[in-house]
Amino acid sequence: MFIPAELIRKKRAGRHHTHEEIRFLVQEFARDKLPDYQMAAWLMAVCFQGMSDEEISWLTQEMRDSGTVIDLTDLGLTVDKHSTGGIGDKTSLILAPLVAAAGIPVPMMAGRGLAHTGGTLDKLESIYGFNVRLDLKQFRAQIEKVGTAIMGQTQEICPADRKLYSLRDVTGTVDSLPLICGSIMSKKLAEGMSALVLDVKFGSGAFMKTLGEAEQLARALQDIGVRSGKRVTALLTRMDEPLGRFIGNALEVQECLDILQGKAAPGGGKDYSDTVELTLELAAHMIFLGERAKSLQEAKALAGVLLKDGSAYSKFQEVCAEQGGDLEKGLPQATHSSSIKAPIAGFMHYKDTERIGHACIYLGAGRRFQTDPLDMAAGVEVFRTNGARVQVGDTLFKLYHSGGPGVDDAIREIEKSFLISPHPVERTPLVAKVLL
């Protein structure tokens, strides 16, 4: 038995906890025996003093073990993917069916929108009838039958993480690296995966603003995975401009459906090439970790074939059918639209992509408060890549909405997200680094 105030003082002084001390803090809090005010004080101490690699690993383990841990070992190698989030980041919708079509089970526990970034669960719920609230029995049964299932965190999975995240959200402790690592990896370890591919984003549209910050997070996540006996590969990817053509729930689903069916993007604007490029890179690493290819080159070629020949789309249709989704009913359509045009000629320069995510919140595609309903049809269409030449009057963005009071705020946010430069702007590689 430990005295909570002493553990708070210990971390406040920058000293390291033992595994038993961390177990006490996490398990007592999960069982409602440690009050919020004491855990909040400890979280703030962690924010200021950090944690050692061992402490982070112990924290993750105890968060995982606060609830049910799914056992999928009888299914062979299972592989999942996790993204730290960005603007227009929609690759999970294609990756799960694509990798499952390669014969690799993909247990995917996804999340909802967070701050300025969208969430996979919200996007899937823009498909009529799609059910992301599977129980653990349904989750396992669908993976066995279809090869993949996408669900939200259940009451049984990592209850300590759910409580801790709610507390972090209101105490200004969300952006602590040890706490981010514990939250991400506890859920991934609990879902039963054998290997994990991380998409750690950096840039003005990501939580990590620099490549160095992204690499620090990626290596910390990898370390937790290795200590838990898992294989983890991390891709550090650019998020200084939106990914793909569309941002918003139904809009992003439509982009993914187009890609899965081999359809081109609508004319007159940006194409889908960056979404496809990143999807195939991530898929290649997932297929390689799942041992369905002898090299990354072979894995990427296989991913390309499965995307092109319709196998991935057929698998997506199976997932929809199993989870109640009805693609025949179509996706929600916005009733209003507004355009933002180039005021001068020059070159497109995204200077603060996060503001485009804020604009989507004003349009109703994201939440300001947890209880906010979503406008599934709302969002933004992107017409120019970073560095693209623009002429006066060219359409740069198109906003989709229901005509509510947030439209003017959304337009102002987008107008602050870019400038028209008189000089060409360098467009950096989409994948900056791979950590194997």
Per-residue pLDDT of 89-138, as tens digits, reads: 999 999 999 999 999 999 999 877 666 777 899 999 999 999 999 999 99
Question: How far is residue 225's CA from residue 429's CA, in Å, rounded to a whole number?
Answer: 27
> What is the model's pTM?
0.93
Query: ∠ at Cα 405 (404, 411), nearest 5°?
Result: 95
Other residues' Cβ atoms within 10 Å of the Cβ of residue 9: 14
Find out whether 268 and 395 touch, Cβ atoms under 8 Å: yes
* CATH superfamily to which 336-421 belongs: Pyrimidine nucleoside phosphorylase-like, C-terminal domain (3.90.1170.30)
Please state the φ and ψ torsions of residue 333, each to the nearest 5 degrees. Answer: -120, 135
Tell me the longest C-alpha to C-alpha distance in the chain: 70
Q: Which CATH architecture has domain 4-50?
A: Up-down Bundle (1.20)
Question: How far is residue 5's CA from residue 46's CA, in Å, rounded to a whole number?
Answer: 14
Percent over 70 (pLDDT), the chain: 99
Domain ranges of the chain: 4-50, 73-329, 336-421
Beta-bridge partner residues of 108: 150
Strand 246-247: give its sheet, edge to edge. Answer: 246-247, 379-382, 395-401, 336-341
Nearest to 270 by CA among 381, 161, 168: 381
Question: How far is residue 350's CA from residue 382's CA, in Å, rounded to a whole number?
Answer: 12
Nearest to 396 by CA among 408, 409, 388, 384: 384
At 286-296, the pLDDT tens digits run 999 999 999 99
At 21-64, the pLDDT tens digits run 999 999 999 999 999 999 999 999 999 999 999 999 999 999 99
Question: How far is residue 5's CA from residue 199's CA, in Å, rounded to a whole number?
Answer: 38
Find out whether 72 and 141 touch, Cβ atoms under 8 Å: no
Listed as ranges, residues in the chain with pLDDT below 70 are 113-115, 370
Q: At what angle do helices 249-260 and 273-289 cross, to 10 degrees?
A: 70
pLDDT at 115: 64
221 CA to centre of own chain: 15
Options 3.40.50.150, 3.40.50.360, 3.40.1030.10, 3.10.129.10; which CATH number does 73-329 get?
A: 3.40.1030.10
pLDDT at 352: 96
Q: At what angle do helices 177-190 and 36-49 cross, to 10 degrees?
A: 110
End-to-end CA distance of the chain: 40
Nearest to 386 by CA among 358, 339, 360, 348: 348
Positions annotated as catalytic residues are: 82, 161, 168, 183, 187
Structure tokens at 179: 């706490």
